[in-house]
Amino acid sequence: MSVFELTGRKALVTGGAQGLGAGMTQALARAGAAVAIADINEDRGKQTVEALRDSGATAEFVTLDITDDAQWEHAVADTVAALDGLDILVNNAGVEITGLIVDLDPAAVRRMLDVNVLGTALGIKHAFRAMRPGGAAGRGGAIVNTSSVAATIAWPSISIYSATKSAVDRLTRVAAMESGKLGYGVRVNCVYPGLVPTEMGAKLAQDVADLGLFASQEAAVAGVIEQTPIGRLGEVADMADAVVFLASDAARFITGAGLPVDGGMGM
C-alpha cells in the first residue's frame, strides 16, 4: 500500500469551495480520504461538494467564516459527526488585498490579519481540541497550513499579505512544538505556494499592473516566471499533491516544517 494512501482518514479543508482549496480537497479525496469543505461561499462550496460526490468521494459542506471562534466550534463538531472523525485539517482559506505601504488602508490590514492569522490560528485551536487524546476525534493527525512564497521574498505591494503569511509560518512552528510537548499527536506543517492563476493569483497579477509596477498583467506573470527556476507558474495540482504528502504517513517524521512549492522562486 502506498504511504500516500489516505483511506479511512477524515479531512477538513477551509476555503475549499474554489481555487487551491478545491484542488486540495479533490486530491485528498482521490487519495482515499473522506472530506469536508468549510467556506463562507455556500453556493460554490456546495457545487464543489456535489462534484466530489459525483466522482465517488464522501464529501460534506460546512458553512464557516474562519475568523469566528464560535463558528469554528460548530464546524469541527459537525465535521466529526458527519465524517465520523477528523484526522487532517488543511487551513487553506486566505485573502490578499494588494496595496503600496504609502497607501496603507487600516481596514484592509485588519481584514488580512483577521482571515490569514486569526482564522488560521483558530483552526489550529479547534483541530487540536478535537484531535488530541480525549477530543471528539481523539486519534491525533496532521494540520497543513497555507503560507505563501510571499513569506520568503520581497514583492512590492503585498507587504501586509506577506507579513500575515510570515505569521502563518511562525504559528506553524509553535503549534508543532506545543502539540509535541503536550502529547497531542498532531503534526503541524505549512506549504509556501508560488503564484497560481486562481481568482486570487490572477487578480494579484492584474493589481500590480494597475499600480504601475509592471506594464501589464502578462508582464507581471512573465516577471514571476523569470524569477522561477522551473520556468512556469504553479498549478493547483502542484499545491494539492504537496498537501497530500504532508497530510499522509509519508511525512510521519515531519513536523514544524515549511515546504516551498514555488518552482524555486523563494530560494
Please give the residue ranges that form the binding site for ligand NAD (CB under 6 A).
14-15, 17-21, 39-41, 64-67, 92-96, 115, 119, 146, 148-149, 193, 195-196, 198-201
Cβ distance to ligand NAD smaller for residue 124 or 132:
124
In the complex, the smallest distance separating the C-beta of residue 9 from ligand NAD, rounded to whole angstroms, is 21
Cβ distance to ligand NAD smaller for residue 172 or 184: 172
Return the number of the residue (45 or 135) whose C-beta is nearest ligand NAD.
45
3-state SS, the chain, equals CCCCCCCCCEEEEECCCCHHHHHHHHHHHHCCCEEEEEECCHHHHHHHHHHHHHCCCCEEEEECCCCCHHHHHHHHHHHHHHHCCCCEEEECCCCCCCECHHHCCHHHHHHHHHHHHHHHHHHHHHHHHHHCCCCCCCCCEEEEEECCHHHCCCCCCEHHHHHHHHHHHHHHHHHHHHHHHCCCCEEEEEEEECCCCCHHHHHHHHHHHHCCCCCCHHHHHHHHHHCCCCCCCCCHHHHHHHHHHHHCHHHCCCCCCEEEECCCCCC
Q: How far is the CB of 177 from ligand NAD (least distance, A)?
A: 23
Least Cβ distance, residue 114 to ligand NAD (angstroms):
8
Among candidate residues 155, 161, 184, 192, the one labeled active-site is 161
22 or 31: CB nearest ligand NAD:
22
Q: Is 184 a catalytic residue?
A: no
Work out how close the CB of 20 gets to ligand NAD at its nearest, in angstroms, rounded to a whole number. Answer: 4
Active site residues: 161
